[in-house]
Every structure is written in structure tokens, then in C-alpha cells.
């Protein structure tokens, strides 16, 4: 018998107990503690619930103060509508709320609606609520560990003050799961930051009062003015920084009852981790794999795997199209048509990125100026792989005149290179990327603009231009498929097989031909020709894994685009080749006319623009 057999028998006795278990109703204290375990995970959870209540109450100013990472004190003060003295006791009852009437649980227009937060907090900590509504006297009520006191008169000019002390004192075991004061304080700051983004017309103050007194202000976000976009832009500038605001693209797109707004940064303004991605549904901050996956998919073509986009996206729709009552913490949502929501984010972001044209982030210039100052670390060098025979053939074709008209047509010095006669068209310097003046180290184009200069990585820029051409050709003509001599049979579950069959038309457009083969099997009859020899079963299972994780798959598209990117890289102008003036200017003009040309296929900038004032500062002339 295994050594753990006695433990197994103790956990699951073979004989029935002498006395049958009796079903009984738990008392309110136990019910509230159980609910608190779902609603209040840590101090930041309590802050989230209390601040959401303040926003729902119409507050114009909200102050959050905490001590010891929120473990000993959380205080939220607002100037909202307040709670009447006769409703304070009811506010501490489970499932008592002013947000809904219970008839339609999908018609949710507020943050809160479950009526669980206040009684849950009172069950595990020492909670006091002091409030005053217009035209009535202020009143206060206290509850500790579920034991509720009477309503008493209080002094307060307006609004509500909710004070929570000694969180989890009534459930000591929960205290062991809390992290350090610093980690809990950081989580509180993140919650306030997200809610401040959701309500830019509300002023927020975050204060650490550890040790007593007024403490210190950690964050202060004044009330923003203007319309939705102006207010949001101002709030994001304060929270994410001016650099983000300067390099953010305005997002405004609609599809089938869903409206996407917000701001997303240029690809060259990216982060090393997914720490600056904020998604809101009907104003509610959410953490949803479907939506963050769509954000990642929208930037897939512009960033390398180790870089992550920066964005604050707001998805609005009729409340009946999304279920926010999936989890007590209300941080997860379920869309009636998840594919529509994902498609809107991908298309909306890609449209904004395309409209940005050749723009690169302003931080690139700052980093370049900083690089003029000696530092200990050298720059990274990127080594290209040796092309396969097929890719080499594509590379030669990409440099042929018929596929690269911008260069082929510029075999003689261009008239644009000469100084224009009076009354002629504006000088080339007035164009965004200016006029080429030199070719440095057989790779970098130095161009002069009206108010500065531009340095272009010719290989990286031509790589992006070629890539965009190849993608346009693929979009126009589709992906060529190669038929397998012997179809490959892949055994799957019936549900997975049906899922793939349902999307077979989409896969066919990418060169992957499949059909049902009975039971849970599918037959792979065609694969994309551009991928060469592929393991069909591995490809199919990768697609299924991504469908399970994100609700959609871009695996096949990603593999095809990776091949196109490699072909574009080897088909671009090589470092070491001397370009004449006409070729350089032709490249600059083509960059100006091509979307996404501000970054190479790996998300690095293709050019750096330096203003004359910045250059003069380098020489101490300002």
C-alpha cells in the first residue's frame, strides 16, 4: 500500500459517518467574511471599491490616504452626493445598492452594482462611514468585524469619508498573504492611476500618511477640462508622461455598436514589458486577455517580441452587449460578440498607425542627443542571417528596376536636388524629410530640413518600404498555396476540429487548405507556398493553442509575414553601397509616402530628426 494511503482514507473515508451532515444557513458574519474573500483580495481591492463608489456618487474631488501600505488605514474622502442618515445602516447590508433595481442585471451604467463592498469591508476590518447629503445633517456609523454600531450625528460639510482600519484583523490568516508595505502601496497607486484615467473630469489626490499627520502627496491629478479627447489627453500626459502625450495617436473607431476611443503610442515609443497597457470597457478598468491580445496583434507587424506597445483604450457599447458580472471584483468582462471587439481594436489601431505615415517618436531624438555624451555601454549590433536561395532570388528581384521604381527612376541627378528657380515649387528642404546632403559610411543619409537635419538608416528604411510592398502584393493577390502530394491527417477533438472547419475560409486565404476527415480528424491538403516545407500538425496545434488563449489566431499570418520581412531585409539596399543624390532623395520621398516607414520591421527607428536648436545646444551656442 502506498505510504500516503492513510492520508487518503482520512480525507475520503470509505464508511459513512454515524451522523448525517445537516444543511444549515450560515450567519451573516460568516457570509460577509466569505464575500470579503472574493471582493477584497488586498488593500488595493478596498481602495478600488471605495473610489468607484465615490465616482458613482458624482464626486468632483477624491482623496485617497493610506498608512503602512493600506494595512492599518485606508481613507477615501469625496465631495459626492453622500448617504442619508436613514440609509447608513442599509448601506452596510449585503446586496443593498442604489445603482440598480434588480430588474435587468445587464443594464449597468455604474462601477458598482452588487452591494457587497461595504459589508465585506466591515466584516474583515474596522469600518466607519461619515456622510452628509444636501439639506440634511451629517451622520456616522461604525462596524468592526461584522459587529455594527448605531448611527450617530457627526460633523462634515459635504460628501462622504470612508475610513477602514486594521484590514483583515478579523481574519488573521489573510494577513499572512499580504505582501510588503511597499508592494501593497504600489498596487494602490496603480488602482488610483487606472481610475483617474477612467474619470479625467474628477480631481484625484493620493497621500501616504504612514506615521501620522498630513503625510506626503504621492500623486495629484487636477480636474481636466475640455471635451472627452482633450481631457483624456491631459490626464494621460500627467500619468504616463509628456513623452507619451507627444507620441500618442488618437484612436476613434466604430464597428457594430462598439465605439473605440483613446490614445496609442507610435511603435518607436514602446516598453520592455507590458506595464503601460490600459484597457477600459464602458469606463471600467479591466484585465482581459482578449482585449490585450488584440492590442498585441495590432502592433505585431511593428515591434519585435521583446518590445510592448503603450496604450490607453476605451471601448464603449450598449451594456447589453457585454457582461460585467462575471467576477465579484468586476475586473473581467464577457462580450456577446468577442470577435467584433477584437477586430475593432486591431483595425482601429492599425488604421491610426497607417495614418501616422512616416512619423517616428520624438524620444528618438532625445536618445540620440544623449548618445553624444560618452557612456559605458556600446550600441547593440544586429546581425542578418544568410538568406536561403529562394530569399536571395527575392532579394535580387526587389532591387530590380521594375520592383523598385523609386530608385530605378532616379538614375540621373534629380531636378529636385538643384536649388529651385524663383517662383518654382517649394525647396526640397521644406518636405518632412528634407533634401539629401551626404551619404555617410555607405549607410546613413544625412538630409537637411528647414529647421534641422535628418539622419536616415538607408538599409532599415528600404527594408520597411520593401516589406510594405510585399504585404500589399500579398493582400492584392492572396497567398499562393502548395498542394501536398499526400494530405496530412491531424487527429483532434471534435470541438477543436469543428473550430478549425468553421474558420477554414480564413485559413484558405492564407494558403492553408483543410477539410473535415470524419470524427475529430481534419485533412490538411494545402500549405502556404512561401513557408516551404512545414509540419502541418505543429502548425495546426499552434493555431488551436492561440485560439484557446486569445480567442483568435494570428499564428499563420505571423509566420507568413516573418518570411516577407526576411525577404524585404535581404532585398533592401545593402550597407556599403554608395548612393547618389537622386537615389537618396528618391528614398526620402518614398518614405514620406509610405505608412509605417518611421520604424523598421523590428520596431527600431529608421530615421532621427534633430532640430537646429538642439544641435546648437550641443556646441554651447544657445
Mean pLDDT of 451-459: 89
Dihedral angle sign, alpha carbons of residues 325, 327, 332, 335: negative
User: What is the rounded average pLDDT of the residues 204-213?
Assistant: 92
Give the residue range(s) of CATH 3.30.1370.100 domains in the chain: 386-622
The predicted pLDDT at position 476 comes to 80
Give me the pLDDT at residue 236, please: 95
Q: Are 43 and 71 in contact (CB under 8 A)?
A: yes
pLDDT > 80? residue 402: no
Predicted pLDDT at 570: 63
Q: What is the mean pLDDT of residues 68-74?
A: 95
> Which of 262-271, 438-447, 600-609 is predicted with the least confidence, judged by mean pLDDT?
600-609
pLDDT band at 107 (very low <50, low <70, confident <90, very high): low
* 195 or 382: which leads in pLDDT: 195
For the CA atoms of 86, 88, 91, 97, what is the dihedral angle to 10 degrees?
40
- Mean pLDDT value across residues 94-111: 54
| Tens digits of residue pLDDT in 404-426 | 344 433 433 333 333 344 444 55
pLDDT-based confidence at residue 172 (cuts at 50, 70, 90): confident
For the chain, how many helices (H) and strands (E)?
21, 23
Most confident segment among 148-152, 192-196, 520-524, 609-613: 192-196
What torsion, rounded to 10 degrees, do the Cα atoms 348, 353, 355, 357 define?
-170
Averaged pLDDT score across all residues of the chain: 80
* Comma-separated ranges of CATH 3.30.565.10 domains in the chain: 28-221
- pLDDT over 90 for what percent of the chain? 31
Between 31 and 619, the more confident residue is 619
Residue 554: pLDDT band by 50, 70, 90 thresholds?
low
Report the alpha-carbon angle 466-472-474, nearest 5: 105
Q: How confident is the model at residue 8 (pLDDT cuts 50, 70, 90)?
A: very low
Helix or strand run (H / E) with residue 127: strand 126-132
358 Cβ neighbours under 8 A, 6+ residues apart = 432, 433, 591, 592, 594, 595, 596, 597, 598, 607
What was the pLDDT predicted at 469? 83
Residue 495 reports pLDDT greater than 90: no
H-helix or E-strand spanning residue 210: none
Instruction: Report the pLDDT value the prediction gives residue 38, as an integer from 0 to 100.
Output: 61
Query: How much is the pLDDT for 108?
Result: 59
Mean pLDDT for 543-571 is: 69
State the Cα–Cα distance between residues 569 and 465, nearest whole angstrom: 10
**Domain 228-355 is of which CATH architecture?**
2-Layer Sandwich (3.30)
Residue 451: C-alpha distances to residues 80, 480, 587 (Å): 51, 47, 20
Q: How confident is the model at residue 369 (pLDDT cuts 50, 70, 90)?
A: low
Q: Where in the chain do CATH 3.30.230.10 domains reside? A: 228-355
The CA-atom distances, in angstroms, between 151 and each of 84, 85, 92, 156, 406 are 11, 7, 12, 14, 80
263 pLDDT higher than 60: yes
Greatest mean pLDDT range, 29-38, 353-362, 414-423, 595-604:
595-604
pLDDT tops 70 at residue 159: yes
Q: Which long-range contacts does 522-527 make (Cβ < 8 Å, 24+ apart)?
A: 522/489, 522/490, 522/492, 522/497, 523/487, 523/488, 523/489, 523/490, 524/484, 524/487, 524/488, 524/489, 524/490, 525/483, 525/484, 525/487, 526/481, 526/482, 526/483, 526/484, 527/481, 527/482, 527/484
Classify domain 386-622 at the CATH superfamily level: MutL, C-terminal domain, regulatory subdomain (3.30.1370.100)
Q: What is the DSSP letter of 27?
A: P
- Give the tens place of pLDDT for each residue, 111-145: 655 557 788 888 888 999 999 999 899 999 999 98
Of 92, 126, 100, 118, the closest CA to residue 36 belongs to 118
Highest mean pLDDT among 149-153, 353-357, 385-389: 149-153
- Decide yes or no: CATH 3.40.50.300 for domain 28-221: no
Region 259-270: what's the mean pLDDT? 91
Place of cell 529562394: 390
Whole-number percent of the chain with pLDDT over 70? 75
pLDDT computed for residue 306 by the predictor: 78
Instruction: Out of 327-336, 471-480, 503-512, 547-556, pick the least confident.
Output: 547-556
The confidence score (pLDDT) of residue 503 equals 83
Q: Residue 481 and residue 463: Cα distance in Å, rounded?
A: 25
Q: Determine which of 67-71, 246-250, 423-427, 530-534 has the lowest per-residue pLDDT on average.
A: 423-427
DSSP 8-state secondary structure symbol assigned to residue 293: H
Residue 386, pLDDT score: 44
Of the two residues 27 and 182, the one the predictor is more confident about is 182
Q: Is the pLDDT at 161 greater than 90, yes or no?
A: yes
pLDDT at residue 160 tops 50: yes
Specify the pLDDT at position 436: 92
Q: What is the mean pLDDT of residues 432-437?
A: 90
Amino acid at each position: 500500500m502506498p505510504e500516503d494511503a492513510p492520508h487518503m482514507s482520512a480525507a475520503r473515508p470509505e464508511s459513512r459517518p454515524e451522523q448525517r451532515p445537516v444543511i444549515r444557513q450560515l450567519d451573516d458574519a460568516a457570509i460577509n467574511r466569505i464575500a470579503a474573500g472574493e471582493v477584497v483580495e488586498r488593500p488595493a481591492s478596498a481602495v478600488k471599491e471605495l473610489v468607484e463608489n465615490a465616482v458613482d456618487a458624482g464626486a468632483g474631488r477624491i482623496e485617497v490616504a493610506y498608512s503602512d501600505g493600506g494595512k492599518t488605514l485606508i481613507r477615501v474622502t469625496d465631495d459626492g452626493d453622500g448617504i442619508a442618515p436613514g440609509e447608513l445602516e442599509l448601506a452596510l447590508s449585503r446586496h443593498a445598492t442604489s445603482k440598480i433595481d434588480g430588474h435587468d442585471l445587464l443594464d449597468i451604467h455604474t462601477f458598482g452594482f452588487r452591494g457587497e463592498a461595504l459589508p465585506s469591508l466591515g466584516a474583515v476590518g474596522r469600518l466607519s462611514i461619515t456622510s452628509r447629503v444636501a439639506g440634511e445633517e451629517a451622520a456616522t456609523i461604525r462596524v468592526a468585524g461584522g459587529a455594527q454600531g448605531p448611527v450617530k450625528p457627526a460633523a462634515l460639510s459635504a460628501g462622504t469619508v470612508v475610513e477602514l482600519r486594521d484590514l483583515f484583523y478579523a481574519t488573521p490568516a489573510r494577513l499572512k498573504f499580504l505582501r510588503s508595505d511597499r508592494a501593497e502601496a504600489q498596487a494602490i497607486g496603480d488602482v488610483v492611476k487606472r481610475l483617474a484615467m477612467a474619470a479625467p473630469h474628477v480631481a484625484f489626490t493620493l497621500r501616504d500618511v504612514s506615521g501620522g499627520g498630513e503625510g506626503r502627496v504621492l500623486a495629484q491629478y487636477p480636474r481636466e477640462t475640455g471635451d472627452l479627447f482633450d481631457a483624456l489627453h491631459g490626464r494621460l500626459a500627467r500619468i504616463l508622461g509628456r513623452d507619451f502625450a507627444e507620441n500618442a495617436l488618437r484612436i476613434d473607431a466604430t464597428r457594430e455598436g462598439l465605439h473605440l476611443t483613446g490614445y496609442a503610442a507610435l511603435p518607436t515609443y514602446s516598453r520592455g514589458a507590458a506595464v503601460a497597457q490600459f484597457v477600459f470597457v464602458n469606463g471600467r478598468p479591466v484585465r482581459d486577455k482578449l482585449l490585450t491580445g488584440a492590442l498585441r496583434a495590432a502592433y505585431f507587424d511593428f515591434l519585435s517580441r521583446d518590445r510592448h506597445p503603450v496604450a490607453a483604450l476605451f471601448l464603449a457599447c450598449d451594456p447589453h452587449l457585454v457582461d460585467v458580472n462575471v467576477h465579484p471584483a468586476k475586473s473581467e468582462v464577457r462580450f456577446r460578440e468577442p470577435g467584433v471587439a477584437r477586430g475593432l481594436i486591431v483595425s482601429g489601431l492599425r488604421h491610426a498607425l497607417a495614418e501616422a505615415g512616416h512619423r517616428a517618436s520624438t524620444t528618438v531624438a532625445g536618445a540620440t542627443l544623449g548618445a553624444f555624451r560618452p557612456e559605458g555601454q556600446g550600441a547593440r549590433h544586429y546581425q542578418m542571417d544568410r538568406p536561403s536561395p529562394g530569399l536571395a532570388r527575392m532579394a535580387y528581384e526587389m532591387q530590380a528596376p521594375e520592383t523598385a521604381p523609386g530608385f530605378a527612376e532616379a538614375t540621373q541627378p534629380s531636378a529636385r536636388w538643384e536649388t529651385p528657380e524663383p517662383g518654382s515649387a517649394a525647396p526640397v528642404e521644406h518636405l518632412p524629410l528634407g533634401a539629401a546632403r551626404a551619404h555617410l559610411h555607405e549607410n546613413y543619409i544625412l538630409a537637411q530640413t528647414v529647421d534641422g537635419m535628418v539622419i536616415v538608416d538607408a538599409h532599415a528604411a528600404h527594408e520597411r518600404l520593401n516589406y510594405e510592398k510585399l504585404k500589399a502584393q500579398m493582400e492584392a493577390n492572396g497567398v499562393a498555396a502548395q498542394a501536398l502530394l499526400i494530405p496530412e491527417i491531424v487527429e483532434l477533438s471534435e470541438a477543436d476540429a469543428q473550430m478549425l472547419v468553421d474558420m477554414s475560409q480564413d485559413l484558405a486565404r492564407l494558403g492553408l487548405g483543410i477539410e473535415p476527415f470524419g470524427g475529430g480528424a481534419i485533412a490538411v491538403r494545402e500549405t502556404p507556398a512561401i513557408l516551404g516545407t512545414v509540419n502541418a500538425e505543429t502548425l495546426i496545434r499552434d493555431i488551436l493553442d492561440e485560439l484557446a488563449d486569445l480567442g483568435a489566431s494570428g499564428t499563420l499570418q505571423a509566420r507568413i509575414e516573418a518570411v516577407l520581412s526576411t525577404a524585404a531585409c535581404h532585398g533592401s539596399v545593402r550597407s556599403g553601397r554608395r548612393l547618389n543624390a537622386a537615389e537618396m532623395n528618391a528614398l526620402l520621398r518614398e518614405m514620406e509616402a509610405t505608412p509605417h516607414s518611421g520604424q523598421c520591421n523590428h520596431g527600431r527607428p529608421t530615421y532621427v530628426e534633430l532640430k537646429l536648436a538642439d544641435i546648437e545646444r550641443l556646441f554651447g551656442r544657445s
